[in-house]
Amino acid sequence: RKEVEQDPGPFNVPEGATVAFNCTYSNSASQSFFWYRQDCRKEPKLLMSVYSSGNEDGRFTAQLNRASQYISLLIRDSKLSDSATYLCVVPNQAGTALIFGKGTTLSVSS
Amino acid sequence: GAGVSQSPSNKVTEKGKDVELRCDPISGHTALYWYRQSLGQGLEFLIYFQGNSAPDKSGLPSDRFSAERTGGSVSTLTIQRTQQEDSAVYLCASSFDRAYEQYFGPGTRLTVT
């Protein structure tokens, strides 16, 4: 299993839709997980941190399944401004760095 | 507060020239990272500094790449004898400690002609 693996998409959804992305990881000892958002030609920006079973912030919910080693990101009531690439991030085996997935592209249309 | 800053924002250089890219991390952050992102690709880890410890250079693609971090703050990434395949956006990030949330600078877009 790759360290961090994501479905590249693209996910094309209409405004108002609910969309979910999954990410699998290989380091079973990981304790912290992150979702970043990257807009076209911009730097990645932290969207959400996950230290326990999950986290919720407004329309965004991240859930962690340690047994299956995957993290999900759920976006409710999608907005046009949610269009971006979403990066799943997990610490490496040594805990010395964060490993970034290649990202899942979301396109929200009106 | 001030975020991570990088300079220059864009750099065009001729093949074979050396370039220096600068990163100024968030004040108080002990960890500093350099990444490279080619067009349409994911982030490629280059090097990691943590406090006064020896840097983790495991991601540097060749010995033409080197980086320094002076005084535990500002970092410089140097690419010697640039090649066209070095063209990419070079991103710097800092964090409070290793494996914590990282905050990115806007990047330096390097084009080697």
> For B35-47, how does the pLDDT look when each residue is reduced to its tens digit (9 = 90+)?
999 987 888 889 9
Question: What was the pLDDT predicted at B1?
Answer: 60
**Residue A20: beta bridge partners?**
A74
Question: Using the beta-carbon criterion (under 8 Å), do B101 and A34 form an inter-chain contact?
Answer: yes
CA distances from A50 to A55, A69, A88, B62, B81 (A): 6, 13, 11, 35, 42
Average confidence score pLDDT of chain A: 91
pLDDT (average), residues B24-41? 91
Residue A43 at interface with chain B, using a CB cutoff of 8 Å = yes
Question: What was the pLDDT predicted at A93?
Answer: 77
- Nearest 10 degrees: CA dihedral of B73, B105, B99, B64? -70
Dist. CA A25–CA A101, nearest whole Å: 9
Find chain A residues with C-beta within 8 A of B98's C-beta: 95-97
> How far B84 CA lies from chain A's nearest CA (Å)?
20
Q: Determine what percent of chain A is predicted with pLDDT higher than 90.
A: 69
**Residue B97: beta bridge partners?**
none
At A53, the pLDDT band (50, 70, 90 cuts) reads confident
Dist. CA B93–CA B25, nearest whole Å: 7
pLDDT (average), residues B16-32? 95
Question: What was the pLDDT predicted at A97?
Answer: 74
pLDDT (average), residues A89-93? 84
Question: Using the beta-carbon criterion (under 8 Å), do B99 and A98 form an inter-chain contact?
Answer: yes
Question: Using the beta-carbon criterion (under 8 Å), do A49 and B101 form an inter-chain contact?
Answer: yes
**Distant-in-sequence, close-in-space partners of B33: CB < 8 Å, separation ≥ 6:** A97, B45, B46, B47, B48, B49, B92, B93, B94, B95, B102
At A94, the pLDDT band (50, 70, 90 cuts) reads confident
Higher pLDDT, A108 or A32: A108
pLDDT (average), residues B83-111? 92
Dist. CA B61–CA B40, nearest whole Å: 19
The SS3 call for residue A98 is strand
Question: What was the pLDDT predicted at B99?
Answer: 61
Question: What was the pLDDT predicted at B98?
Answer: 66
Q: What angle do CA A52, A46, B12 make, to 5 degrees?
A: 150
Length of chain B counted residue by residue: 113
Dist. CA B109–CA B15, nearest whole Å: 15
- Nearest 10 degrees: CA dihedral of B80, B81, B85, B88? 40
